[in-house]
Structure 1
Amino acid sequence: MRGDFRDFLKRVALAYGLVVLLLLLTNAGGIAAGRFPDPDDALRLVELRDWLGGQGWFDVTQHRIDPAHGGVAMHWSRIVDVPLAMVVLALRPLLGGAGAEMAALLIVPMLTLAMVLVLVARVAWERLGAEAATLSCLTLAMSVPVVTQIRPMRIDHHGWQVAAAMLALQGLMTRHARIGGWVSGAALAIGLSISLEGLPLTAVFGALGAWRWLRGGETRDWLAHFATGLAAVSLACFAATRWGDWAQHCDAIAPVHLAMFVWAAVVLRLWRGPALVGFAITGAGALALYVGLAPQCRGGSFNMLDPLVQRLWYQQVAEGLPVWRQDWATALQTVVPPLFALFACAGLIQRSAGEERVWWQEYTLILGGALGVAVLVTRAGAVAGAFSAVPLAWLVGEWLSAARRGQRLAVLGIVAAMVPSAPITVWGMVPHKASSPTTTTAQRVSTCEARRHAAALNTLPQGTILAPLDIGPDLLLGSHDSVLATGHHRGARGMHDAIAAFVAPPDQARAIIRANHIAYVALCPDLGEPQIYAREAPHGLAADLLAGRAPSWLAPVAADGEGLRIWRVL
């Protein structure tokens, strides 16, 4: 490292402390209310409780979702549950069950942040020096996509995906092809075991490895070691977390993916002929395995969703949609910082030579690939944001020096790179005439606390609840009841029936409710999902409930203004 290692730790620790303090302050309201950033975080806690309560390690089925049809076998990984469980089990004797859970909700995301911060700063320290290491911590903290996924109570897997991606980047830094390839391959294997969403980024690293092979030199064999590490660690993670599940899943690491990884590793390790021929054999064989073993996956991970669920759920989940389907603020925050970072990479390539120049060329390829993935799937912007932190640190440092020399445009450059949505934020502060009631509703903060109000159900007989998909996890946390569906695609059957019931006229909805043995109906009037159903079907069940016209076969159990409303099915 450039400089003293203790200086590195001191700088990172100081930056980390400031970032943690800022995140705790800005999320204080949600922490105090026990409000999760996303329904997936609530369901992750449900999964953790089930496991610690005796559910098997290999059984990640949510038995309280669509219980009439055997529950929903989730595609999630136990890897994410382990650090949460360690904190809960360690602190439960001191803080009790609820206190230990809250501690885990705060500690584990901040440990994830610490890991990402250290890995980002290490790259900056090695390549750019001490000042850039400090600035890289700050540029990371200013990335909205990153802090959206790594913040207090954000315990789902997206933060760990960022950490795995940053660890994979470390494998590009070492001059030893064997060590570097194994580090990158192992890191991405863990990331893929957590979520298959990392597959495009893995392909980007593979493409870089192919370029290294073609270029020759001491990093020529990096790709073969990368493929070996990817295959070996993927096999180990599968054996440790999914053993016995031999189905060819499209949304999680399955035997078909393991076969592809092993094939690539064997071919790349043994091939001694022309490189391009070896790549062609590797790719053709992997494609044949994929099409032959899992032909149902050619349509993607969400091909089991019917048109109703596709239209009223999947197409409404903004984070999974392309950048051009987002609001302007989200799109700018996702795309602009990486574009500035690519501009910085161009400057770093121009000013460097030799091995250093090659490094920044490779970094540009990885960052460009990550940005390409983020453009197609917005939530992948967290990885692109983390990769952007290092070149942005150099660029901000250059602009700070220019600002100190009196160049005022440099300040505008810093603002544009770090806070690209600032003009939209300022515009939003100016009073404007509301274009429609829908716009006003969408901008309000929800008063619904489904988890807390669901406790009213615990005094009633246990049953299954028909509720909008997004509040299902909170209802599972707050009550002893089950739900028909949550917003998780493997429960496609229950998702269809839940949506169909809400958009159907009350008499047709009643038939769906009876068929699914529903005991209660619940919704939060000021959340967006039931309003989507009401707009879709103005005479449907959701529209009637929002208007206060509950059918005669529903008896109110709880009503708290615009909070959670619950009815018992008669």
Structure 2
Amino acid sequence: MTPRPLWPAITIGWTLAAVLLLAMSAGAIGEWRFPDPDDAMRLMEVRDLAAGQSWWDVSQHRLAGGDLHWSRLVDLPLAAVLLLTRPLLGQAGAETAALIAVPLLTMAAMFALVAVLTRRVAGEEPARLAVLIAPLSVPLLYQMRPLRIDHHGWQVVLALAALTLLVGRPSIRAGALLGACLAALVTISLEGLPIAAALTGIVALAWAFDPARRPMLLGAVWGLFLSALLLQLATRGVQYAAPMCDALTPDWLLVLGVGAIGASAASLTGRGPLAIRLAALAFVGAVAVAVLLYTAPECVGGPFAQLDPLTRRMWYENTDEGLPLWRQSSLVWAGLTIGLPVTGLIGTVLALWSSPAAMRMRWMLVAAALLAALVLAALVMRAGATANAFAIPGAAWALDHMLRRARRIEGAGVRMVATAGALVTICPGLIVLAVAGFPQTEAVRAGQQRPASGVQCERGLDARVIGTALPPSRIFAPLDLTPDILVATPHQGIASGHHRNHAAMHDVIAAFTGTPDNAHRILRGYGARYLVVCPGLNEPELYREESPHGFWAQLEDGARFDWLEPVEIANSPVRVWRIR
């Protein structure tokens, strides 16, 4: 029997989700109210590329500390939409089109992949239910909503594509494509390395238990290494050779090459006992780690090891997406992140238990990938969207079984309650939303309820008024406010929240939390002409909490310094001072 196509369900589900997101985001789109400062900085990257900045240069030259580790891969679809629509819509219209179209196209790819993945392990009806479950995952939609143009959505899609290939027929072609997806994933950002390593490890373990999967193993390890090498040459060039812990560099490529050679050698033990195969894989892993320790020992501490204690405490440890779930500032976000992966894992285990023998290997692969993603999401919240995506096949299988039971209930009212209960059970995030409401997205701290001088900002957009109120100048502003100032005004800044510029980041934090004399020295050292702050937002309030008698706390409370001249900005809560 020929399977029915999935594209009608995918199209309908994506269209409904896109219309809903567009309606919910209409105000944000009109104001360019980005979900995260990284989205504003990503638009700057694409804007500068389209304006003629070198393909090899991803620095932000309007910052005093503007070195970035980002990949041009994510810029490509945004730049394509911008260049294609600019003759018709103009620069601003074309940028808005890119801010809308690219995230929604990313979401379309996600919908298609979860449907295909679910059909491969659970069948057609659960695959259609997967399209229903996907838009009920807040972490997934958050990473693919309009204006969310940073790299996280693409990483989810690439991880999904790799898992979809993993559960398919174990051919060398499928393995090579799987490796290419993982190479693109880690090229976009090295924060994808843990899930890429987990999926590669699952490929290797699957071969250990089933030596007939050797073609996929060889395809995966060589596809990963060779694709990573080619992408490195295509996006960063041969000059990108310095040891770095936050992006692919020759030391990381060497590790991938050693892993490919070692896995190929280990695969020759396929006729031996399982213990020998596992020991061979363990030896290859140990050698790869040893190579990394020898060539780049500084990377053992991770990409943020170079942060000084002040910057780590004030910036990194207050950035929710990089923290474990139990350290989140919003328990609502933690619940939304972990709910679907937990229910999806339960459904996956039940499906594995009850499925015919021919499907158990596929369910085992999904279960292993989901468990790895769930652990990573618990340790680092930004991995939560991938865990939600991996959870959908198990959740769809469980929902299909619950709905079948609900349909057998005779009473219409009870049947409707049972159906609604099935949806809520599968997506416990709905309960979190119903009880606690949607978490506040604007970074405003509870500390703003204290008595304060003057009107406080409600959002970072309030600072954009300086685009017309002040002549083009170098602005000294908090880290999270600076990208929005860059994207919406002609001004220059000092630093943004990007760790390669840890020296400039430290200076910004030290100026706001230190003594007035220290702040004066730092501001003059950068040649800043104006000091701009939006009181009440997360970052200035953190500075006040850290140093209640520091420079910013004194300035907000009305202290005056002879080297600062207040500048009145009409009808705006933003605070501005001219630096004499």
Under TM normalisation by the shorter chain, which class is it? over 0.9
Indicate the SS of the match to 1:392.
helix
* Preserved CA contact (<8 Å) 2:185 2:196: no
Aligned to 1:11: 9
Aligned to 1:291: 293
Change (3 A) 1:437 1:216: closer
* Preserved CA contact (<8 Å) 1:399 1:414: no
Aligned to 2:442: none
Aligned to 1:282: 284
Aligned to 1:313: 315
Gapped regions of structure 2 (runs ≥ 5): 270-275, 439-444, 451-455
* Paired residues for 1:20-39 under 5 Å: 20-39=18-37
* Paired residues for 1:542-557 under 5 Å: 542-557=552-567
Shift of 1:562: 5.8
Shift of 1:409: 6.1
* Paired residues for 1:298-377 under 5 Å: 298-326=300-328, 327-377=330-380
Q: In 2, distance between residues paired with 1:541 and 1:562? A: 22
* Preserved CA contact (<8 Å) 2:179 2:220: yes
Is 2:165 the partner of 1:163? Answer: no
Aligned to 1:492: 502
Shift of 1:437: 5.6
Is 2:256 the partner of 1:254? Answer: no
* Preserved CA contact (<8 Å) 2:179 2:221: yes
* Paired residues for 1:106-505 under 5 Å: 106-243=100-237, 244-271=239-266, 272-273=268-269, 274-326=276-328, 327-404=330-407, 405=409, 406=414, 411-420=420-429, 422-423=431-432, 425-426=434-435, 438=447, 446-450=458-462, 452-456=464-468, 460=471, 462-505=472-515
Shift of 1:561: 5.6
Q: In 2, distance between residues paired with 1:427 and 1:270? A: 54
Q: In 1, distance between residues paired with 2:147 and 2:24? A: 12
* Preserved CA contact (<8 Å) 2:167 2:366: no
Aligned to 2:544: 534
* Preserved CA contact (<8 Å) 2:398 2:426: no
Q: In 2, distance between residues paired with 1:340 and 1:465? A: 48
Shift of 1:428: 6.2
Shift of 1:410: 6.4
Shift of 1:331: 1.5
Change (3 A) 1:117 1:427: closer
* Preserved CA contact (<8 Å) 1:525 1:564: yes
Aligned to 2:273: none
Indicate the SS of the match to 2:529.
strand
* Structure-1-length-normalised TM-score: 0.92
Change (3 A) 1:166 1:4: same
| Cα displacement string for residues 316-340 of structure 1 (whole angstroms, at most 9, x for unaligned residues) | 1011100111232112111121111
Indicate the SS of the match to 2:214.
coil
Aligned to 1:102: 96
Shift of 1:130: 3.2
Change (3 A) 1:427 1:232: closer
Change (3 A) 1:563 1:401: farther
Indicate the SS of the match to 1:538.
coil
Equivalent residue letter for 2:102? V
Q: In 1, distance between residues paired with 2:549 and 2:217? A: 59
Shift of 1:203: 1.7
Is 2:75 the partner of 1:85? Answer: no
Q: In 2, distance between residues paired with 1:349 and 1:427? A: 34
Indicate the SS of the match to 1:154.
coil
Is 2:55 the partner of 1:51? Answer: no
Q: In 1, distance between residues paired with 2:558 and 2:533? A: 12
Shift of 1:424: 6.6
Equivalent residue letter for 1:528? N
Change (3 A) 1:224 1:527: same
Identity of aligned residues (%): 39
| Cα displacement string for residues 360-395 of structure 1 (whole angstroms, at most 9, x for unaligned residues) | 111100000010100000011000011112221222
Indicate the SS of the match to 2:480.
helix
Aligned to 1:433: none
Change (3 A) 1:210 1:423: closer
Q: In 1, distance between residues paired with 2:2 and 2:542? A: 55
Shift of 1:551: 2.6
Change (3 A) 1:291 1:445: same
* Preserved CA contact (<8 Å) 1:450 1:474: no
| Cα displacement string for residues 118-144 of structure 1 (whole angstroms, at most 9, x for unaligned residues) | 111112233333332222112111111
Change (3 A) 1:58 1:471: same
Q: What value does the CA root-mean-square deviation take over the aligned residues?
A: 2.2
User: Which sits farther off after the overlay, 555-564 or 45-54?
Assistant: 555-564
Indicate the SS of the match to 1:37.
coil
Q: In 2, distance between residues paired with 1:297 and 1:185? A: 23
Q: In 1, distance between residues paired with 2:437 and 2:152? A: 29
* Preserved CA contact (<8 Å) 2:120 2:168: no
Q: In 2, distance between residues paired with 1:275 and 1:563? A: 65
Change (3 A) 1:359 1:65: same
Indicate the SS of the match to 1:494.
helix
Change (3 A) 1:184 1:550: farther
Indicate the SS of the match to 2:230.
helix
Indicate the SS of the match to 2:372.
helix
Change (3 A) 1:427 1:451: closer
Indicate the SS of the match to 2:532.
strand
Shift of 1:162: 0.4
* Preserved CA contact (<8 Å) 1:175 1:218: no
Q: How many residues align?
A: 554
Equivalent residue letter for 1:299? G
Aligned to 1:565: 575
Q: In 1, distance between residues paired with 2:352 and 2:279? A: 31
Shift of 1:550: 4.5
